[in-house]
Amino acid sequence: MKIEENSWLYQPEYTGENRCEPCTILNLVLAALFSSAIVRKSRIGGAIALGVSIFLIYARGYLVPGTPELTKKYLPPEVLQWFGKDPQPPTSHGLGSEHGETSEEDASSKRSTADETVPSKELDPQEVLLQESIVEPCEEQDDLCLTDEFQSEWYSRLDTLAEKDLQPEDIIPLYQFDVSEEDIEVTNHGSAWTLHVGSSIVGRWPSEQALIADVAAAEVLSEWSNLWGLLSSDQKGQLLNALRLFLGTCPGEDGSVSLNQETVESCCSSHEVVTVSCDETGDRLFEQPLG
């Protein structure tokens, strides 16, 4: 059965890959109960009601109006997990594993066993940035700012990368292991950019500008910081993600950036996220679940 996308029945946000299984099952149960009530008076009427209900659920994703919104608001996370749904909608953090979809052991098959890394743990990015003289207390406000030296180096690399198309050789400094250009592939779907090394996904960014910012920062940090080469991919991702919060302009442009709070929707849930976006283009540089 095929439904034209311009049909008033077609709702891609609730069908296909976006279909919410809990919503579908709930509506099928309701359709069965509704049809069974009708069939007591008319078998034909009950059969028609059941057929129409199934068609609407197939075409629109639900039968009862408001089901997706009610599911997102009231369905417990434990129920979503029964259906294999992650109650936390995916966000693009940058380099590193996300929701367990990246296995660093698989992605780093070429890593030398002689390499030593900082023990795997959550870093305190602010502490590292201060220790490495990347940020310092601002002079005119109670906050942290990039040091002049690091900002000059970072922005210079940003301008250079923004003027060209990213190539695999540009990505290598971002990734700590010994990989060849043939192992690296960058794909984009909509606004999201994904980094593949071999068959593994090793990073996901909310925009090309965010990826460029991380690649430029990795180039500088590989020369600037003695700690950088000892960090795991996840730890590097934490540091780079934090660094993007200090961007004062959109990479490759003179436009300003703004901090906002937005709602991220998945098929069965919605969550608030903190974002940093370019004001002129809307390109997102940073996103993190609130709380």
Whether 100 and 205 map to the same domain: the answer is yes
Above 70 in pLDDT, residue 281? yes
Whether 125 and 75 map to the same domain: the answer is no
Encoded tokens for 52: 């129409």
Q: Are 177 and 110 in contact (CB under 8 A)?
A: yes
The reported pLDDT for the residue numbered 266 is: 57
The reported pLDDT for the residue numbered 147 is: 95
* 257 is a domain residue: no
- pLDDT class of 240 with cuts at 50, 70, 90: very high
Q: For residue 198, what are the CA distances in angstroms to 41, 97, 172, 236, 263?
A: 62, 15, 13, 19, 33
Name the domain boundary from 55, 82, 109.
82
Per the structure, the complete domain to which residue 39 belongs is given by 12-82
Above 50 in pLDDT, residue 100? no
Alpha carbons 83 and 129: distance in angstroms, whole number? 41
Amino acid occupying residue 30: L
Q: Kindly report, residue by residue over 179-224, the tens digit of the pLDDT.
A: 777 788 888 887 788 888 888 888 889 898 999 999 999 999 999 9
Q: For the chain, what is the domain count?
A: 2
Whether 100 and 214 map to the same domain: the answer is yes
